[in-house]
Structure 1
Amino acid sequence: MRHLTGPRALDRGLIESLLARAAAFEQGAANQATPLSGRLLATVFYEPSTRTRFSFEAAMFRLGGQVLSAENAIRDSSAAKGESLEDAIHVIGGYVDGIVLRHPDVGAAERAARVAPVPVINAGDGPGDHPTQALLDLYTIKKELGRLDHLRVGLAGDLRNGRTVRSLAILLSRFPGNQLVLISPPGLRMGADVIDALREAQQDAEETTDLGGAVADLDVLYQTRIQAERFESPEEYERYRGVYVVTAALMRRLPERAILMHPLPRLEEIDPQVDADPRAAYFRQARHGLWVRMAVLDWAMER
């Protein structure tokens, strides 16, 4: 059974295979096929989502399948009565052929996969991981820049709580010659578990608090929001709010060859005036989620 619970299970070969499958869907070569016809997917979301849930559901429909959606499972399912995640997954797995799960607890997808009778795909587990977002980020970089190796990538913002940057850093380490620049306030540094994984992969990574000083030699600037929902108090969030903002002035320091990415939703960390800059790739990035999630579902649920 093929689960996708985190980035550590994705080696370079599997990443390249999934990205090639996504490209085939985007180019239309596979669009006439409906490989998941007659199959049913459950999207079980205990946290809010727009892009991830809609793109997974659109992907399943495009593959010929159908969807059962719990868009607020923490309120509208028996979780509100105290049912455990494991029991819910046991039951839901008996009705469907695959489960896409978003949950506030780190490791929830791993827990679900241990008991599920069908494939489980992690759509975000709190401040843990978001493997399909990292895959679509790689897909975007490859389309925009033509390669996934020998890149200098700046990951900026809330690296402590941002699951997208955690997963992306791991996947970038699968490709040779990449350099990571981790840009955050001291209190929002990348987690030690990711730093250890990067060291184990012999991945170059430098840390800085200076966004303006870091952008001049980047190939990719990956900006993220400060994760208000992960802070224990509004006062703590306010200390970091607005710490890094990408403005037109900052974009003048970013190389012409570079791209600006963001997993969205955007709050105030990218000035809307930047949207018109051709290097602003975040809306193109979001569109690629459809093709990548089609590829992931096709891989996980193929007979």
Structure 2
Amino acid sequence: MLRHLIEPGDFSKEDYEILFGLADRIVENPEKFGNVCNGKLLASLFFEPSTRTRLSFESAMYRLGGNVVGFADAKVSSTAKGESLTDTLRTVENYCDIAAMRHPKEGAALLCSKKMTKMPIINAGDGGHQHPTQTLTDLMTIRHYKGKFENLTIGLCGDLMFGRTIHSLMRQMARYDGVNFVFISPEELKMPRQFKDEIDSSRYTETDDLKTAIKDLDILYMSRVQRERFVSEEEYLRLKDFFILDNDKMKNAREDMIVLHPLPRVNEIATEVDSDKRAVYFEQAKFGMYIRMALIMFLLGLEA
């Protein structure tokens, strides 16, 4: 059966455990998986700029022994000539075995997935909506450092209005028992009502005080204020420095708290924090490649 990953809810908890188990085996013995995707092609379709996600997908496919075709700029695709997005994907399906697609419009990946007959679609980010493979990366990191998903308090800090990584992680972690959230943001960038309505109000609190909130957290998930999501440059400049995590704030945090960030970082985490053992965001990026290797294998039905 053809399966896609468009949003975190497309996979069950059991699916996630299969993926994490496979990713663990890849980490332990990457050479064993070096030819799993021999003869397979990944379509890397990035209609919106990306560094980490695109290179992570491409590195994952190459490390599995497959190859990659695609583009990193919508201007070089035929959509720039007026071709519909679904026509582009239906054409690519004739050439490739699996596709990772980023698009600035919400719902683009879902729309294309409904037209596919043989090529799995992986949503690599659709506007401010979803980013499920970043969620997989985040979950693998949490699993590695915390050993569980249940009974955790997670602080989500920064741009909660437009942060698709934030929205995806919240939705997935809400599926686990005993998980509570602290939404830390300026008033203008609060978590949208539609996402808060998905969980019981007893499971979250809201604040604009990072320094105070940090003491109760098991996990602090930082995010940047994204310039590209603002219509007004003046509004962006006013809000971008609202929260900066530094050593002074880290003094209030638990010794076993971990700091995650989907990257790229601008200045919301001071570089002085990088040397803190609780700052695991660069390790998090490495886990992203391994979990994407597992995801490609999973959707293609491949085994080592």
Settle same-fold status: TM greater than 0.5.
yes
- 182-191 or 159-168, which deviates more: 182-191
Give the secondary-structure state (helix, strand or coil) at the position aligned to 1:264: coil
Q: Which residue of 1 aligns with 2:260?
A: 261
Q: Could you tell me which residue of structure 2 aligns to residue 206 of structure 1? A: 205
- Matches of 1:29 and 1:88, distance apart in 2: 34
The answer to whether the 8 A contact 2:259-2:280 is kept is yes
Partners of 1:8 and 1:145 in 2: CA distance: 22
State the match for 2:137 in structure 1.
Answer: 136
User: Given residue 147 of structure 2, which amino acid in structure 1 is its aligned partner?
Assistant: G
Q: Give 1:3-152 correspondences, 5 Å limit.
A: 3-28=4-29, 31-32=32-33, 34-72=35-73, 74-117=74-117, 118-152=119-153
Q: Structure 1 residue 159 and structure 2 residue 138: aligned?
A: no
Query: Which residue identity lines up with residue 175 of structure 2 in the other structure?
Result: R
- Length, aligned pairs only: 300
Contact kept in structure 2, 1:19 and 1:139, CA below 8 Å: yes
SS for the counterpart of 1:123 is: strand
Residues 61 and 68 in structure 2, CA contact (< 8 A), matched pair in contact too? yes
TM-score, L = length of structure 1:
0.95
**1:164-179 matched pairs, under 5 angstroms:** 164-179=165-180
What TM-score, normalized to structure 2? Answer: 0.95
Deviation of residue 29 (structure 1)? 6.8
1:211: Cα distance to partner? 1.1
Q: Deviations over 1:128-148 (max 9, x none)?
A: 100010111011011112211
Equivalences for residues 222-233 of structure 1 within 5 A: 222-233=221-232
State the match for 1:301 in structure 2. 300
Deviation at 1:90, TM superposition (A): 0.9
Deviates more, 1:4-13 or 1:161-170: 4-13
- What is the deviation of 1:19? 1.2
Contact in 2 for aligned 1:12/1:175 (Cα 8 Å): no
CA separation in 2, counterparts of 1:15 and 1:30? 23
Q: Deviations over 1:24-69 (max 9, x none)?
A: 1111177346322211110100111111111111111111211102
Q: What residue in structure 1 maps to residue 249 of structure 2?
A: 250
- Residues 183 and 208 in structure 1, CA contact (< 8 A), matched pair in contact too: yes
Q: Secondary structure at the match of 1:207?
A: strand
User: What are the ranges of 5 or more consecutive residues in structure 2 without an aligned counterpart?
Assistant: none
Rounded to whole Å, the distance in 2 between the matches of 1:146 and 1:25 is: 18
- Cα deviation, residue 7, structure 1: 1.4
1:280 is aligned to 279
Tell me if the contact between 2:34 and 2:63 (Cα under 8 Å) persists in the aligned partners. no
Q: SS of 1:167's equivalent?
A: helix
Root-mean-square deviation (Å)? 1.5
**Residue identity matched to 1:213:** T
Asked if the contact 1:47/1:104 (under 8 Å) is kept, the reply is yes
Q: Which residue identity does 2:211 align to in structure 1? A: G
- For residue 221 of structure 1, give the secondary structure of its aligned residue in structure 2: strand
Q: How far, CA to CA, are the matches of 1:10 and 1:181 in structure 2?
A: 25
Distance 1:196 1:30 in 2: 45
CA distance in 2 between counterparts of 1:299 and 1:32 reads 13
Give the distance between the partners of 1:32 and 1:146, measured in 2 at CA: 25
The residue type paired with residue 161 of structure 1 is F
State the Cα deviation string for residues 223-279 of structure 1 (Å, max 9, x = none).
Answer: 000011001110121221100000110111111110111100000100001111111
**TM-superposed deviation, 1:77:** 0.9
Q: Using the TM superposition, give the Cα deviation of residue 204 of structure 1 relative to its aligned residue in structure 2, in angstroms.
A: 1.3
Aligned-residue sequence identity (percent) comes to 42
Between the aligned partners of 1:219 and 1:30, the Cα distance in structure 2 is 34
